[in-house]
Amino acid sequence: MGCRNRQHRWQKLKMIVLRSKVGDVSRAVFPTAKEKFNAFLAVAGLLSAIAAVIVPVFTGD
């Protein structure tokens, strides 16, 4: 059991803990599938609006 193996085990444990915390936050902010979908649509709309402003600047249209 070298140092590398212990570090690998620690990284796996840390990933499990952080993943569960992220899942808890996600469930707290977006408790239902409908709210998750609406958030996704909002982000997609925002990205589309940003692209609509930035693309003409770079293409000169």
In the chain, how many domains are there?
2
Looking at the fold, whether 8 and 24 belong to one and the same domain comes out as yes
pLDDT at 5 over 80: no
Q: What is the pLDDT of residues 7-34, one digit of tens each?
A: 777 777 777 777 777 777 777 777 888 9
d(CA 39, CA 27): 13
Note whether 40 and 30 are within 8 A (CB).
no
pLDDT at 1 over 60: no
Note whether 30 and 36 are within 8 A (CB).
yes
Q: What is the pLDDT of residues 27-53, one digit of tens each?
A: 777 788 898 899 899 999 999 999 999
Domain limits for position 11: 1-29
Looking at the fold, whether 35 and 56 belong to one and the same domain comes out as yes
Looking at the fold, whether 37 and 25 belong to one and the same domain comes out as no
